[in-house]
Structure 1
Amino acid sequence: MVETARHDAWSAGDSCDRYMGRWRRKIAPLFLDWFDPPTGLDWLDVGCGTGALSAAIVAQCSPKSVLAIDPSEGFLQTAQAALADERIQFRLGDAQALPAKPGSVDVIASGLVLNFVPDRTKALSEMRRVGRPGALIGFYV
């Protein structure tokens, strides 16, 4: 039997961006308006996907830095190609084992991701671990 190759839109950044990107780009600015964080802070974007929330953070929040993590290399490649801001660092990573030092970020945000995380309790514990005292943590699904 001959197997045919399937295109996995959930690992190919351009395909996923055409499908979900339109929603991500619309909701991210609204979320940030509601979240209303101070400027000049270190951010963590958990599950950055193709970069819609990271782009909105840079455009609206004047961050000091943004660490954007995602488990998909395809998504990260798409995000890096679209966002050439020196404040953003993209890194391969998992919400359940965040690649950040304890107490290293001021604001942790996640958009349209937590419903895809197998152990949300672990992911939220990781967010607390990497947040500085008084860190803001916000997400939407």
Structure 2
Amino acid sequence: MQLTSFTDYTLRVLIYLGVQPEDKRSNIKEISDFYSISFNHLSKVVYELGKLGMVETVRGRNGGIKIAKKPSEINIGSLVRHTESPIEIVECFNEEKNTCKLNSACRLKGALKEALEAYLNVLDSYTLSDLLVNKEDIKQLLMK
């Protein structure tokens, strides 16, 4: 399964913020520059993370963003479900858009649904803190 760039960028922002000192506010431009991601696209990601309560955003001269929850409280599976919703691997996952003539006899949908559940179950076993176990290595890369 391939994640959308929105989900990818969401995870990257959280990893970036997760290794920062607790009192440091980052800004979208510095994250955008580090990852070479569109500032506008990243702004939408940060806005969504703010709505979810995962980042704290402060406007103004001394503003910026920082992580709002403990990394151990940010479940990766839940985050992916939110940013990828609805997850439609193939057309038949969406009853309204499905035009496949094999739908009533096809077993592919069931197999893919089972695979998707297994995929999400694995992600459910991870939190942001699990992705930050090599925090010092990540910090070193941020300084380059």
Q: TM-score, normalised by structure 2?
A: 0.27
By relative contact order (CA 8 Å, sep 6+), the higher-ranking structure is: 2
Query: Which TM-score applies when normalising by structure 1?
Result: 0.28
Bigger Cα Rg: 2
